[in-house]
Amino acid sequence: MTMRLTRRSVVLAAPALALSGLPAFANIPSHGRGFGDNDPVDFNHPAPSKFPVHGLDMARFQTVNHWPTVRSAGATFVWIKATEGGDLLDPSFKTHWRGARQGGVHAGAYHFYYFCTPPEVQAKWFLKNVGKKRGMLPPVLDMEWNPFSPTCTLRPPAKEVRAQMKTFLQIVERKLGQRPVIYTTPEFYKDNELYKMSNEEYWLRTTAKTPAEAYPGQAWRFWQYSGTGVVPGISEETDLNCFNGSADDFNAWLKRRTV
């Protein structure tokens, strides 16, 4: 996703956030047509523009000036970085969360996985900081290699990676009542044979090819198609995403998958 907090920037845990008045589902805004891109790609069919429902993901590196403007530009949903490993809390999580909910954007939280901390510890840390809030999007487990980490560049065998993922997914699902969506990259997906994890819901990053080209045969729910997006109401470049389906499909998915 976006750049990560370094392992040396320890942030103390904050209490779980209070629920705002966001409805469980709502009308779809302008389909991402207000989004720009500093490095656009001419995708093969179907391009992101063919999908009607678009959204964002962000962390402390994005400054949101006005959430209603973000929504009016076409952001139906946003996933916000909450935690990393077993001791890092994104310092902008609370601010982004409250702003998105108040601005009418469906919000969820994601956890960036760290291979030097047991999955049980990471799941507990995520749950402690996010809590359970009615109407939130399902949680996301962000699985990708982190070669720039100052403290942990461990790459376990694929079978061990999948076992750790399943442990995290099961713990969070038991607590929140929704199984997390898995976010990943082409390299990580291939290295760890994630196609062997059947019946999971995937959010796939691919900024030069379509999901069908980058992940042959893999079903997907969300596609992160740009890391250089320009969105009115946000000061910095932002990741852009789309939902695989119609507006009606998205609202039906919300009914099934919100916490």
CATH of the domain at 222: 3.20.20.80
Residue 164 lies in a domain: yes
Confidence of residue 242 (pLDDT cuts 50, 70, 90): very high
Single-letter amino acid, residue 151: T
Distances (CA, A) of 250 to 27, 37, 53, 131: 10, 24, 7, 24
Report how far residue 129's alpha carbon sits from residue 137's, in angstroms, rounded to the nearest whole number: 15
Residue 75 lies in a domain: yes
**DSSP, residue by residue, 46-58:** SPGGG-S-EEEEE
Alpha-carbon torsion, ordered 84, 86, 89, 93, to 10 deg: 60
Q: Which domain holds residue 194?
A: 36-257
> Does 144 qualify as catalytic in the annotation?
yes
Residue 5 lies in a domain: no
Residue 2 lies in a domain: no
Number of domains in the chain: 1
Mean pLDDT of 240-246: 98
Q: Say what the pLDDT of residue 32 is.
A: 63
> pLDDT over 90 for what percent of the chain?
83
Catalytic residue among 144, 173, 200, 201: 144
Residue 43 lies in a domain: yes
pTM above 0.85, yes or no: yes
Residue 210 lies in a domain: yes
Q: Is the pLDDT of residue 221 over 90?
A: yes
Residue 160 lies in a domain: yes
